[in-house]
């Protein structure tokens, strides 16, 4: 899968994080992406026409957010944060591990549908 992911992501806009990563880190991101997607949508999602593309995009999303404090706070369950006059709230049931683009690619496919 790594070879196909490289082919896909090397030609994608905003791909610098992917290109800069070492192969083992790319493979780890792909493995985690598959686990996240299958965990959310079930094993049957592998039959979806956009599955591979979704895995590649999810791997890139994870790498992009690896050092994001905001992403880590959301993963820890923080519901809102305020700094001076600015505040931000997060949905408690939103699965932030899955990128919005991947959700769009796999739209409408949940475990119960597969």
Task: Show the domain range for 23.
Answer: 2-68+98-113
For 12, 38, 68, 79, 94, the CA distances from 47, given in Å and listed in that order, are: 23, 11, 32, 34, 24
Give me the number of domains the chain comprises: 1
What mean pLDDT is reported for the chain? 84
Residue 84 lies in a domain: no
Q: Are 42 and 114 in contact (CB under 8 A)?
A: yes
30 located within any domain: yes
Cα dihedral 6, 14, 30, 75, rounded to 10, equals 170
Higher pLDDT, 90 or 60: 60
Q: What is the number of other CB atoms lying within 10 angstroms of the CB of residue 75?
A: 12
pLDDT digits (tens, 9 = 90+) for 29-84: 999 999 999 998 999 999 999 999 999 999 999 998 876 666 666 666 666 777 78
Residue 31 lies in a domain: yes
Distance (Å, whole) CA 20 – CA 94: 30
């Amino acid at each position: 899968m790594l070879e196909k992911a490289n082919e896909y992501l090397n030609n994608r806009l905003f791909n610098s994080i992917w290109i800069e990563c070492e192969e083992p880190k790319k493979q780890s991101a792909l493995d985690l992406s598959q686990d996240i997607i299958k965990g959310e949508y079930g094993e049957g999602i592998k039959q979806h026409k956009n599955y591979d593309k979704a895995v590649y995009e999810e791997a890139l999303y994870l790498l992009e957010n690896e050092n994001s404090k905001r992403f880590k706070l959301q993963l820890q369950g923080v519901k809102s944060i305020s700094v001076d006059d600015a505040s931000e709230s997060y949905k408690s049931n939103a699965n932030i591990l899955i990128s919005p683009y991947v959700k769009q690619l796999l739209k409408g496919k949940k475990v119960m549908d597969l």
